[in-house]
Amino acid sequence: SWEPPIDDGSAEVLQFHATAVPLNSLSGLEPPTSKNWQFGSEIKSAWLYGVHPATLYIIEMRAANTAGLGTAATTEGWTSIAHPPVPMQPELLSRTPSTITVKLHTVNPSYGPITAYQIVVVDETVGVYMNTSYLTNYNDASRQKLPYYIGAKFDAENFITVFTVGDGKKYDGYYNAPLKEGLDYHILLGAVSHLNKTLISYSPSDHGQHLSSVLTLDNDSHLSKHEFPTNMLQPHSDQVADHVTDEHHRSTQEPSGLVVGLSVSVGVLGCLVLIAVVVYIALRVYLQAPRRLDNQELTVNSYDNGELPPEGMSHYMTDEELPDHYSRLKQRVAVMAPSDLTIVGDIGQGSFGAVKKGIVRSSQQVHSSNHSEGAVLVQHILDSSLDSGDKASMLRCLGQHVAVGKHSHVVALMGLVEEMTAVSLVFEYYTQTLKQHLTEARAVTHYPVYAEKHRRFSTIDEQQVLSILCGVARGLQWLRCCGVSHGSVCARNVVLVDGCVPKLTGFGLLSYSNDLYVPDYRRWVARELLAHWHTKTDAANDRGHGYSHQNGGSSGDKSSRGGSGVVSSLQGDVWSFGVLMWEAVTLGATPYPELRGDDLAPKVQTGLRLPQPQYVANDLYQVMLDCWQLDPGERPEYPQLEATINQLAGEGSHLLFSTYPGFQYHLYAPHQEFRD
């Protein structure tokens, strides 16, 4: 900005001429050149566009009239830095149970000096979006129950090309804590640029860090997993030739040793054959007897029509009265051989057993063409860990998944694997959640250059958001047709296939948590059901799983109580869908972030509702309000919701992600979405 010259009675000022001459630049772009601008006499302030970032300029301003240019007024100043280029994803070199070794790549100082680098560790087990404003050291992150932290920081001039995450050392005050075995870690590199402000860019989180696993022995001779590029697994032909030549040479020089070795091998082989025959006969005898798992343990009460009784009644039935409902369900599910399933890691804990990540060997019976790399989610259920009531609840949930079958907008049960004392239920597994997709689309936060250029605060299109909501409505309608209530409809329980096709998860046997992150779904729960949800005191006794729950199927408006005592209803899911709509249009904001979970019930029950975003039209917000009707019977059906959202999407003016003066995102507070 500038002030016009003092009026001395000479000719009137016609223009202002500005010149910017570069004195020094810390930008890695092409060398800056001088720039000139002209402004009308009425202009007193302006942005000087076209200058380089991180560059020191001397600015000259002159007034011009019919007599020419006046005396220059000068000032010096640095231009602002911009976000550094996005770093390359760290390359995985090796892995042990407590460390991951990666190769790092430097970042060009295109928009300002790169002054430091950060190593960020993200636990992807639960799939929580990383909010960079909450990034902190390991100890603070642990206290706040954040699934990500800064593990190291080092100056750019002391760049570390090969870095071991989890080595237990400190780097610039950041503790590089040993990693916990069994968790799904991603390692990110942050490039820090500091001059007149501090800006940081982080590498993308990509599942390519998990490819091509081999087993090796670590320094302590314990079996551990290391990962290398696939081509490193194949020996060179000349190495093979040298090995064969050496073996041939030794065999011709030491014939007596060879004879002794062959003799010992024949003896050992004979013993192994004898043992194998004995084991085979024993297994034949054992397997011909009725299997306890099939015929006795995994059974519950049923009525004459084969349906399960209401929740709670199974506790009053004797074992003699329990028909083999499990066998009937098994006839409708693909039974996989144990050799078809490989467990590769732990994910969390469900109400009936451990939840693990697995890999399925492709076969016509279980192959799913649209789930990547054969990855599956496995609910591992030990027979000995369930009493008769638990078995009733588990089989009720299994019956739901069998009834739901395969649907384009619901995560499907693919099959089961039977063992002597356990059953593994195999589901489709996708890692990208709608919550991640929405929060990562916040352009002003993550892609400011894009936001400024396109004047948009979202990198995803309004039509895509509304299309995803229509897909979720179709999935919920299918569950309703199957008599299944979801119970925890929210963006975290919607996964995306190919970034655009939504699938419902988080219900029945797909509900789980882990020791660190237990979801708190009360912000999405219907008004009439909030009072039935566990308080923290009650939940502490709920088998140690917090709010991780299994929903009993229900019909009509009747509520049902699932495996961990959480109440749900079909009409309650409609309320939750309205909250999901608000969550989607606010790009992943937390409902009622100003309230603690324990304070929600009285506020919502006395009329508190989520606010209308400024960029959401009345017609679209009214759809949400309809979902939040006090009378559950007055809430809309899913086909009606889908039709209305489709119509509004076609009109194209009810949701606009364009920036406007004073725009701010609705708050995303991840710590409020999990239990303390």
Question: Who wins on pLDDT, 409 or 305?
Answer: 409
Co-location of 224 and 105 in the same domain: yes
- Residue 182: which pLDDT band, with cuts at 50, 70 and 90? confident
Which range has the worst mean pLDDT, 191-195, 213-217, 284-288, 593-597? Answer: 213-217
Which pLDDT score is estimated for 346?
87
Which pLDDT score is estimated for 331?
78
Q: What is the pTM for the complete model shown?
A: 0.57
Percent of the chain with pLDDT over 70: 74
Co-location of 465 and 547 in the same domain: yes
Residue 2 resides in a domain:
no
Residue 267 resides in a domain:
no
- The helix-helix angle for 618-627 and 638-651 (nearest 10°) equals 170
**CATH code (residue 331):** 3.30.200.20
Return phi, psi of residue 292, to 5°. Answer: -60, -40
* 597 torsion bin: left (phi>0), alpha (psi -120 to 50), beta (else): alpha
Selection from 438, 424, 568 nearest residue 508 by Cα:
568
Residue 81 tokens, joined: 């830095």
* 508 torsion bin: left (phi>0), alpha (psi -120 to 50), beta (else): left
Give 213's DSSP letter: E
**CATH code (residue 605):** 1.10.510.10
Asked which of 78, 102, 129 is the last residue of a domain, the reply is 78
Residue 377 resides in a domain:
yes
On the question of pLDDT at 163 being above 60, the answer is yes
- Residue 280: which pLDDT band, with cuts at 50, 70 and 90? low
User: What is the per-residue pLDDT across 541-582, written as a single tens digit (0 to 9) for each?
Assistant: 343 333 333 343 433 343 443 433 344 578 889 999 999 999
Asked which of 232, 250, 283 is the last residue of a domain, the reply is 232
On the question of pLDDT at 13 being above 90, the answer is no
Which pLDDT score is estimated for 139?
93
Residue 626 resides in a domain:
yes
Co-location of 190 and 147 in the same domain: yes
Residue 264 resides in a domain:
no
Selection from 450, 443, 449 nearest residue 665 by Cα:
443
- Full residue range of the structural domain in which residue 335 is found: 293-428
Selection from 371, 379, 380, 374 nearest residue 359 by Cα:
374
- Residue 231: which pLDDT band, with cuts at 50, 70 and 90? very low
Give 335's DSSP letter: E
The residues near 476 (Cβ < 8 Å, ≥ 6 apart) are: 486, 489, 504, 573, 577, 638
Co-location of 68 and 170 in the same domain: no
On the question of pLDDT at 135 being above 70, the answer is yes
Most confident of 187-196, 419-428, 644-653: 187-196
Asked which of 401, 428, 455 is the last residue of a domain, the reply is 428
Q: Is the dihedral of CA 448, 452, 458, 463 positive or negative?
A: negative
Residue 458 resides in a domain:
yes
Which pLDDT score is estimated for 558?
38
The Cα 616–Cα 107 span in angstroms is: 39
Residue 110 resides in a domain:
yes
On the question of pLDDT at 243 being above 80, the answer is no
Q: Are 507 and 572 in contact (CB under 8 A)?
A: no
**CATH code (residue 214):** 2.60.40.10
Co-location of 179 and 320 in the same domain: no
- Residue 126: which pLDDT band, with cuts at 50, 70 and 90? low
Q: How many domains does the chain have?
A: 4
Residue 107 tokens, joined: 């970042």
Name the residue with tokens 């324990």.
Answer: 598
Co-location of 478 and 599 in the same domain: yes
User: What is the per-residue pLDDT across 67-103, written as a single tens digit (0 to 9) for each?
Assistant: 888 888 999 999 989 889 889 999 999 999 999 999 9
Q: Where are the alpha helices (DSSP H) in 407-552?
A: 434-440, 443-446, 448-454, 462-481, 536-540
- Residue 207: which pLDDT band, with cuts at 50, 70 and 90? low
One-character DSSP codes across 169-212: -EETTEE-PPPPTT--EEEEEEEEEESSSEEEEEPPP-GGGG-S
Residue 298 resides in a domain:
yes
Question: What is the rounded average pLDDT for all residues in the chain?
Answer: 78
The Cα 186–Cα 209 span in angstroms is: 7
Co-location of 48 and 141 in the same domain: no
Co-location of 201 and 166 in the same domain: yes
- Residue 526: which pLDDT band, with cuts at 50, 70 and 90? confident
Co-location of 410 and 442 in the same domain: no
Which pLDDT score is estimated for 298?
38
Co-location of 482 and 598 in the same domain: yes
Which range has the worst mean pLDDT, 218-227, 324-333, 526-535, 590-599? Answer: 218-227
Co-location of 613 and 530 in the same domain: yes
506-516 core/surface letters (b: 16 or more CB in 10 A; e: else): bbbbbbbbbeb
Co-location of 594 and 473 in the same domain: yes
